[in-house]
């Protein structure tokens, strides 16, 4: 975040003493060395949680790959494992991106959440356009699960077996599967997944089920009934595609009630969208929202972790799906961590360095003659900004300001104080302001140490 600072003390070492030569410049070293922030995955692990992200396989190089590998310990393929991706033509499979992501995860000590086996969306055309008897549908379902789960047997931590089975009012969504097989398709899919990989945790995943509401209560009742029937179900995924400022107040309570049923809970697709353009107030609100979600997961032992649906705004589904909305992830489009990133780290018990950047003041002697000189001070900002400024310094014996421009300067004894004029108090990030002065000197005319305050 670029923050505006009106008060910033920067001490500048005077590098030269003695009579200054014409054009002598003293530059200020103000960069503070920061220890690297602890990666989110390590902070999460220390809390017994996981921190995940959805990824796009083709992007897993360069900065994107570095951050995905370093910061997260769960990966979810954003699209690569969906039916339409893996079997675009019946019987012809394309595992390239899914395999790549699994290999990347294994190389980086990460777990993979498989997403997703049974859904109404992103299915291949041959499947959705076909006319199937219930028996055929049942076979298609079982074969698909056996094939895909079987391919990655022993390598995936979890599967979103069934995705988005409910309508907002808690009734079942009318899908290919529901219409053909009734509610039994859910138990059937879970049972098939368990048979194909007994070690993978099996989840039902949905959106708008983060708070206590009709939809999440329907999901709750389904999970309860599946447990009672002995159907394999290990967890519930709360997608959490949230709107700025609208984290449900009942999130933690809702997580807890699922946990109390004896299943794990994961936040599986977290993003928090805002109306574009973003500004610092929205980003601050977003940070608070991210923190609230993280806190709710941290507070419940059976909440296993939080996955963000894309970690950078350059790899988010929001702008194309919700026109005019975006900036929903913890990193901006240039991979700079946003306030949301720091909020996540803090919720996981980490401390983060403040945004780097500073404004510096540099004193130089532009010209000098037998008893007089012309000096100047340049104030420059990078990664920070000022809305007013004052520069102070202490002269040696015999140095006296006689006249200043582009600042109001006063000298009392050896102490000089120069404040901005009415028109140049603002120094934007990346900008600079210079003021000048004439003075007299005797003996020596050293460059003083200046302080920007």
Specify the residue, 329 or 362, whose C-beta has the smaller distance to ligand XIL: 329
What is the nearest approach in angstroms of ligand XIL to the Cβ of residue 204?
A: 12
**Contacting residues toward ligand XIL, per CB under 6 A:** 78-79, 163, 239, 269, 317
Looking at 97, 111, 148, 164, which residue is catalytic?
A: 164
Specify the residue, 132 or 317, whose C-beta has the smaller distance to ligand XIL: 317
Torsion over CA: 177, 180, 185, 186 (sign): positive
Residues 6+ apart with CB under 8 A from 42: none
Helical pair 184-196 and 214-229, crossing angle rounded to 10 deg: 60
Specify the residue, 319 or 431, whose C-beta has the smaller distance to ligand XIL: 319
Q: Are 372 and 27 in contact (CB under 8 A)?
A: no
Q: How far apart are CA 191 and CA 46, in angstroms?
A: 33
What is the nearest approach in angstroms of ligand XIL to the Cβ of residue 96?
A: 17
What is the nearest approach in angstroms of ligand XIL to the Cβ of residue 122?
A: 6
Specify the residue, 197 or 269, whose C-beta has the smaller distance to ligand XIL: 269
Q: Are 39 and 344 in contact (CB under 8 A)?
A: no
What is the nearest approach in angstroms of ligand XIL to the Cβ of residue 261?
A: 22
Quote the Cα angle for 372-375-380, to 5°.
175
Specify the residue, 8 or 157, whose C-beta has the smaller distance to ligand XIL: 157
Here the tokens at position 207 are: 């959106």
What is the nearest approach in angstroms of ligand XIL to the Cβ of residue 332?
A: 18
Q: How far apart are CA 299 and CA 256, in angstroms?
A: 9
Specify the residue, 25 or 127, whose C-beta has the smaller distance to ligand XIL: 127
> Catalytic site residue 269?
yes
In the bound state, the residue with its beta carbon closest to ligand XIL is 317
Q: How far apart are CA 211 and CA 240, in angstroms?
A: 10
Looking at 111, 269, 333, 346, which residue is catalytic?
A: 269
What is the nearest approach in angstroms of ligand XIL to the Cβ of residue 404?
A: 58
Catalytic residues: 164, 269
């Amino acid at each position: 975040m670029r923050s505006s600072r009106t008060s910033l003390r920067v001490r500048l070492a005077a590098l030269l003493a003695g009579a200054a030569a014409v054009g002598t410049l003293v530059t200020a070293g103000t960069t503070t060395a920061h220890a690297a922030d602890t990666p989110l995955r390590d902070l999460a692990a220390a809390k017994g949680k996981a921190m995940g992200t959805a990824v796009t396989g083709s992007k897993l190089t360069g900065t994107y790959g570095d951050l995905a590998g370093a910061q997260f310990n769960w990966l979810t393929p954003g699209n690569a494992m969906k039916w339409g991706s893996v079997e675009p033509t019946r019987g012809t499979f394309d595992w390239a991106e899914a395999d790549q992501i699994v290999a990347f995860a294994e190389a980086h000590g990460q777990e993979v959440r498989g997403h997703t086996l049974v859904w109404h969306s992103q299915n291949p055309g041959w499947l959705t356009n076909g006319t199937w008897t219930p028996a055929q549908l049942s076979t298609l379902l079982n074969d698909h699960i056996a094939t895909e789960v079987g391919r990655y047997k022993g390598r995936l931590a979890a599967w979103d077996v069934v995705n988005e089975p409910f309508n907002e009012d808690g009734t079942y969504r009318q899908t290919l599967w529901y219409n053909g097989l009734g509610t039994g398709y859910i138990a059937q899919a879970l049972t098939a997944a368990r048979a194909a990989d007994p070690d993978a945790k099996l989840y039902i995943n949905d959106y708008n089920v983060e708070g206590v509401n009709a939809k999440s209560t329907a999901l709750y009742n389904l999970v309860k009934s599946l447990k009672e029937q002995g159907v394999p179900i290990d967890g519930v995924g709360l997608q959490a595609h949230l709107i700025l400022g609208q984290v449900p107040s009942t999130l933690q309570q809702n997580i807890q009630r699922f946990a109390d049923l004896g299943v794990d809970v994961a936040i599986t697709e977290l993003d928090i969208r805002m109306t574009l353009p973003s500004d610092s107030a929205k980003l601050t609100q977003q940070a608070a929202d991210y923190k609230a979600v993280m806190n709710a997961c941290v507070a419940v032992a059976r909440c296993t972790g939080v996955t963000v649906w894309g970690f950078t705004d350059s790899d988010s589904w929001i702008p194309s799906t919700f026109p005019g909305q975006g900036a929903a992830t913890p990193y901006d489009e240039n991979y700079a961590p946003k306030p949301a990133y720091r909020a996540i780290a803090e919720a996981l018990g980490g401390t983060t360095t403040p945004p780097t950047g500073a404004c510096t003041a540099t004193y130089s002697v532009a010209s000098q003659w037998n008893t007089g000189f012309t000096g100047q001070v340049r104030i420059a900002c990078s990664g920070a900004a000022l809305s007013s400024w004052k520069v102070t310094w202490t002269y040696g014996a015999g140095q006296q300001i006689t006249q200043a421009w582009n600042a109001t300067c006063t000298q009392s004894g050896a102490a000089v104080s120069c404040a901005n004029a009415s028109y140049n108090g603002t120094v934007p990030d990346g900008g600079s302001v210079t003021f000048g002065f004439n003075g007299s000197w005797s003996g020596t005319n050293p460059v003083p140490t200046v302080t920007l305050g």
